[in-house]
């Protein structure tokens, strides 16, 4: 079942990409495993999943212990990250999507320096103002970028957002469009450790809309593990 679900999701990603005149291969599917037990995740991996997203450091730790050996998986931290968990997160994740304050950014840099890592991060913006109490206010984006520049152990790889939870993607479109606009504006800021490669938006309920508006990374859980 999980295999079929993944195939169906991939087909929908492909169609959305084509409608937008983009290559399906440019879009990274992050399989969100927060509601899935290890055997279900194993099925997803057997179906070709390479990128796994978790919301909590503790849960990710358990899954990594069960799944990592012998596998080249990319781990994504997508849930809210508290400063005191930054130390653990830096050792565990390839990409942290949920960096939403300068304080957290600096804590991650400090922890990454201690283990000699360059941590890839996304800036999470609060574009909906309602669904998520997390995410930086977009008006503070410039300050955040300037805070990233001097840091030696982080790389800003792009932006992440969660669209408003409403019935269906209708209310998500303006958010996705707004985030893409911000993303495009920030392409000018590239250089050094500012890379702006990924635009992480779109979940089970709204990923096609997100792709059509420019997402190149979608985070999908329930459409796979339903
Ligand atoms: C749970 C979660 C997802 C996946 O949501 P689904 O609706 O199950 O696809 C994506 N992003 C974040 C931040 C999440 O917490």
Q: In this predicted structure, what is the pLDDT of residue 63?
A: 92
Residue 129 pLDDT exceeds 70: no
Three-state SS string over the chain comes to CHHHHHHHHHHHHHHHHHHCCCCHHHCEEEEECCCCCHHHHHHHHHCCCCEEEECCHHHHHHHHHHHCCCCCCEEEECCCCCHHHHHHHHHHCCEEEEECCHHHHHHHHHHHHHCCCCEEEEEEECCCCCCCCCCECHHHHHHHHHHHCCCCCEEEEEEECCCCCCCCHHHCHHHHHHHHHHHHHHHHHCECCEEEEEEECCCCCCHHHHHHCCCCEEEECCCCCC
Q: In this predicted structure, what is the pLDDT of residue 53?
A: 98
pLDDT tens digits for range 133-191: 789 999 999 999 999 999 999 999 999 999 887 666 677 888 999 999 999 999 999 99
User: Ligand 1 pocket check: which of 2, 34, 51, 224 to mutate, most ligand atoms within 8 Å of Cβ?
Assistant: 34
Residue 48 pLDDT exceeds 80: yes
- In this prediction, residue 132 has a pLDDT band, given cuts at 50, 70 and 90, of low
Kindly state the average pLDDT of the residues 180-205.
97
Residue 130 pLDDT exceeds 80: no
Pocket (CB within 6 angstroms of ligand 1): 32, 34, 55, 78-79, 162, 203-205, 219-223
């Amino acid at each position: 079942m999980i295999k079929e679900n993944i195939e169906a999701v991939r087909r929908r990603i492909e169609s959305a990409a084509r409608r937008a005149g983009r290559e399906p291969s440019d879009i990274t599917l992050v399989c969100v495993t927060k509601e899935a037990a290890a055997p279900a995740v194993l099925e997803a991996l057997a179906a070709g999943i390479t990128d796994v997203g978790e919301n909590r450091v503790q849960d990710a730790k358990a899954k990594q212990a069960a799944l990592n050996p012998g596998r080249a998986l990319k781990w994504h931290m997508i849930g809210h990250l508290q400063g005191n968990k930054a130390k653990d997160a830096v050792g565990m994740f390839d990409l942290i999507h949920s960096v939403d304050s300068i304080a957290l950014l600096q804590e991650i840099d400090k922890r990454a320096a201690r283990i000699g890592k360059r941590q890839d991060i996304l800036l999470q913006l609060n574009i909906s103002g309602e669904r998520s109490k997390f995410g930086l206010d977009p008006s503070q984006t410039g300050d955040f970028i300037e805070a990233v520049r001097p840091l030696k152990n982080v790389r800003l790889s792009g932006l992440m957002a969660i669209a408003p939870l409403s019935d269906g993607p209708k209310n998500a479109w303006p958010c996705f469009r707004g985030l893409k606009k911000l993303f495009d504006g920030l392409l000018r800021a590239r250089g050094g450790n500012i890379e702006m490669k990924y635009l992480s938006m779109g979940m089970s309920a709204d990923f096609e809309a997100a792709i059509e508006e420019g997402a190149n990374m979608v985070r999908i859980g329930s459409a796979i593990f339903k």
